[in-house]
């Protein structure tokens, strides 16, 4: 089963990996992804091709299409559209890069310098890391270490909206709930909903993990059920929230042994969820119904597969993630990289394809996730 995974050593610690979105009607699997690096002397944004050449010949390992230097660590990255990528920097700047497909080059299309900054006594602005970015073309939302939220619009010079002291702690990640609402997670275990239609600079709702204020590092919204949100934190736990009810998570699932860096629902198959961690693991969480019909690759040697109880009571996709009584539910968890040791910093899933990047200075692509 392992030959579906191709690896490429890149001599850079990879902080982010993202598939280029496919055109709306596309039937083919994704073929291009972007990576950003961190903790290197010179960080880079790079674009890679995988899959088949026009001749139908299989490429094998990912091939570099083009790359460009990036000032500071790449903290987060999102495609705005087929050509443009928005990159968040540890320097506090937010840059939109354009991919020129005719000659395979990357250039800076637009930049908001010091979108995030700490204002010191002399009122000069020292950069604060921009920790998260999310796009809903043409809108771009960024959050940062400075507790600020920015709403930008592509091709507009000034921010459309800035909430300066949105949070007194570090904001770690952001996602859109709907076109006018975002959700942020912070370093003291809180989720906050912000409604851009409201003028006041206060969250419309606050949720929090009970007890210890464990920092939350990542968040993703269920693609079809907008009230279901998954978060991951410092303690490696996966939390599932229903933002329609209560202020606490619906379920807390023991996951990784160290920080969870990213969580992603599969965009078209959301009863599958993926998480990656500082502990070197990447987990595939599967709540789809019938385990007996599972693809056999989940059971092959060396892959630790854990089963929760099985009962087929009231099994809908929604219920699968919201059911906090595991006896009524089933979930299968597979570590897709059993013997990795260094941090898996980022992953992305699209169609049958998974890409992930690590501190072992390598990128990995699995093109047959559901084979």
* Residue range 149-182, pLDDT digits in tens: 999 999 999 999 999 989 999 999 999 999 999 9
Q: Is the pLDDT of residue 292 over 60?
A: no
Quick one: how far is CA 252 from the chain centroid? 19
- 28 pLDDT tier (thresholds 50, 70, 90): confident
- Out of 58-67, 208-217, 271-280, the most confident range is 271-280
**In the chain, pLDDT over 90 holds for what percent of residues?**
68
* Annotated domain spans of the chain: 11-290+318-366
How many other CB atoms are found less than 10 A from the CB of residue 242?
20
How many other CB atoms are found less than 10 A from the CB of residue 74?
27
Task: Specify the pLDDT at position 69.
Answer: 97
Q: Is the pLDDT of residue 211 over 90?
A: no
CATH fit for domain 11-290+318-366, picks 1.10.3720.10, 3.40.50.970, 3.40.50.2020, 2.130.10.10: 2.130.10.10
- 191 pLDDT tier (thresholds 50, 70, 90): very high
- Out of 130-144, 238-252, 357-371, the most confident range is 130-144
Q: Is the pLDDT of residue 293 over 70?
A: no
298-335 pLDDT tens trace:
333 333 334 333 332 233 444 567 765 544 456 888 99
Give the mean pLDDT of 15-27.
91
> Which of 111-115, 151-155, 239-243, 248-252 shows the lowest per-residue confidence on average (mean pLDDT)?
248-252
Task: Specify the pLDDT at position 280.
Answer: 95
**Contact yes or no for 130/76 (Cβ under 8 A):** yes
- Cβ neighbours for 291, distance < 8 A, ≥ 6 positions apart: 307, 310, 330, 332
**Contact yes or no for 75/54 (Cβ under 8 A):** no
- 246 pLDDT tier (thresholds 50, 70, 90): confident
Task: Specify the pLDDT at position 329.
Answer: 55
Per the model's pLDDT, the better-predicted residue between 250 and 149 turns out to be: 149
- In the chain, the N- to C-terminal Cα span, in Å, equals 9
Nearest alpha carbon to residue 109 among 147, 148, 152, 76: 152
Give the mean pLDDT of 117-140.
87
- 250 pLDDT tier (thresholds 50, 70, 90): confident
Per the model's pLDDT, the better-predicted residue between 59 and 148 turns out to be: 148
Give the mean pLDDT of 19-36.
91
Per the model's pLDDT, the better-predicted residue between 200 and 142 turns out to be: 142
**Contact yes or no for 128/144 (Cβ under 8 A):** yes
54-104 pLDDT tens trace:
555 556 789 999 999 999 999 999 999 999 999 999 999 999 999 999 999
CA dihedral 59, 60, 66, 69 (to 10 degrees): 180
Torsion sign over Cα 179, 191, 221, 32: positive
337-347 pLDDT tens trace:
878 789 999 99
Mean pLDDT of the chain: 86
Per the model's pLDDT, the better-predicted residue between 44 and 340 turns out to be: 44
């Amino acid at each position: 089963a392992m030959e579906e995974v191709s690896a490429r050593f890149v001599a850079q610690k990879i902080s982010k990996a993202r598939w280029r979105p496919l055109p709306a009607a596309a039937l083919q699997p994704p073929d291009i992804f972007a990576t950003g690096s961190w903790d290197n002397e010179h960080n880079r944004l790079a674009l890679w091709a995988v899959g088949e050449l026009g001749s139908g010949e299989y490429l094998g390992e990912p091939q570099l299409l083009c790359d460009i230097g990036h000032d500071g660590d790449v903290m987060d990255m999102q495609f705005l559209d087929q050509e443009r990528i928005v990159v968040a920097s540890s320097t506090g700047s937010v840059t939109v890069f354009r991919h020129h497909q005719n000659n395979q080059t990357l250039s800076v299309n637009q930049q908001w310098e010091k979108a995030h900054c700490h204002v010191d006594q002399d009122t000069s602005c020292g950069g604060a890391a921009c920790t998260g970015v999310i796009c809903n073309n043409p809108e771009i939302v960024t959050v940062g270490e400075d507790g600020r939220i920015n709403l930008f619009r592509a091709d507009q010079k000034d921010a459309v909206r800035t909430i300066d002291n949105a949070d007194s702690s570090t904001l770690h990640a952001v996602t859109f709930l709907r076109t006018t609402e975002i959700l942020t997670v912070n370093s003291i275990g809180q989720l906050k909903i912000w409604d851009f239609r409201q003028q006041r600079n206060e969250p419309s709702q606050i949720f929090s993990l009970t007890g210890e204020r464990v920092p939350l590092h990542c968040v993703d919204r269920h693609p079809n059920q907008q009230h279901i949100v998954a978060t991951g934190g410092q303690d490696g736990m996966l939390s599932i929230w229903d933002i329609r009810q209560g202020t606490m998570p619906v379920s807390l699932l023991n996951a990784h042994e160290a920080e969870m860096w990213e969580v992603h629902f599969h965009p078209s198959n959301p009863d599958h969820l993926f998480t990656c961690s500082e502990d070197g693991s990447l987990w595939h969480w599967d709540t789809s119904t019938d385990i007996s019909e599972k693809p056999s690759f989940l059971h092959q040697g060396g892959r630790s597969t854990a089963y929760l109880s099985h009962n087929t009571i009231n099994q809908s996709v929604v219920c699968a993630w919201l059911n906090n009584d595991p006896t009524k539910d089933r979930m299968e968890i597979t570590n897709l990289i059993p013997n990795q040791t260094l941090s898996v910093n980022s992953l992305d899933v699209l169609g049958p394809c998974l890409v992930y990047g690590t501190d072992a200075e390598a990128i990995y692509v699995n093109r047959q996730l559901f084979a």
